[in-house]
Amino acid sequence: MMEHVNLRKLVYSSGSIVFFGGAGTSTESGIPDFRSAGGLYEQRTSKVYEPEEILSRDFFHAHPADFYSFYRTHMVYPQARPNPAHLKLADLEQEGRLKAVITQNIDGLHQLAGSVNVLELHGSVHRNRCLDCGISHPLSAVIGDSRPVPLCGECGGIIKPDVVLYQENLDFDLLERAAVHIQQADTLIVAGTSLTVQPAAGLVGLFRGDNLVLINRDATPMDGYATHLIRGSIGEVMAAL
């Protein structure tokens, strides 16, 4: 409880907060993470392929039906709703304290909670485009299409989610914007991420402000650099603010 009190004082004395979040930010909304014990990468969801192989660029192009079978089942959660962490971050942005949310998640829950300046490093399930004509499609075009592979209603081309797959690069301009926000922040709150995925995790190393807050259930490589280290639920911690 003392940690929560200290964090509350810190947050409300800060004028430029940036939040950097990973999969753990959304687990309390019913979306499983990847790398923790019992996470998606530890589950054998296919008898033939590993999840990392399925979620790769080459696999998508070679086996789109198998990709979408996995993707629709394990990566898309249209019924998920923002949890207290998402809602509190939106409040802090509205108050002018939080300048940006930088997320590794693709679920769109920050925007659903009301956050505006959201930098989605790995893309979003809510943005999709036809590989042939380039037209954009909503998530409903992917999950509402009964065919094994969703096809464009305009030209019949294959629709690809705007999510960063293995073998694909992150958007350089987006990374640059994220880096600038982190460098200009006086408080950086990092939550729900193992900080093992590059290059996104390397962004945290750019922080030069006074307060590095780490909220995570498990240890991370950056724990020794934190000014405030809190073990626990991101939703409970943020709700306590």
Residues 153, 157, 162, 164, Cα dihedral to 10°:
160
- Both tokens of 8, joined, read 């509350």
d(CA 221, CA 94): 32
Beta-ladder partners of 188? 18, 212
d(CA 39, CA 52): 13
Beta-ladder partners of 137? 128
Integer CA distances (angstroms), 154 to 65, 125, 189, in order: 20, 20, 43
Active site residues per annotation: 122
- Both tokens of 239, joined, read 């709700």
Comparing C-alpha atoms, which of 132, 131, 159, 137 is closest to residue 71? 159
**3-state SS, residue 128:** strand
Beta strand 211-215 with 187-191 is parallel
- Both tokens of 172, joined, read 């350089």
Beta-ladder partners of 94? none
Q: Determine the distance from the C-alpha atom of residue 87 to the mean position of all C-alpha atoms in its chain, rounded to a whole number.
A: 15
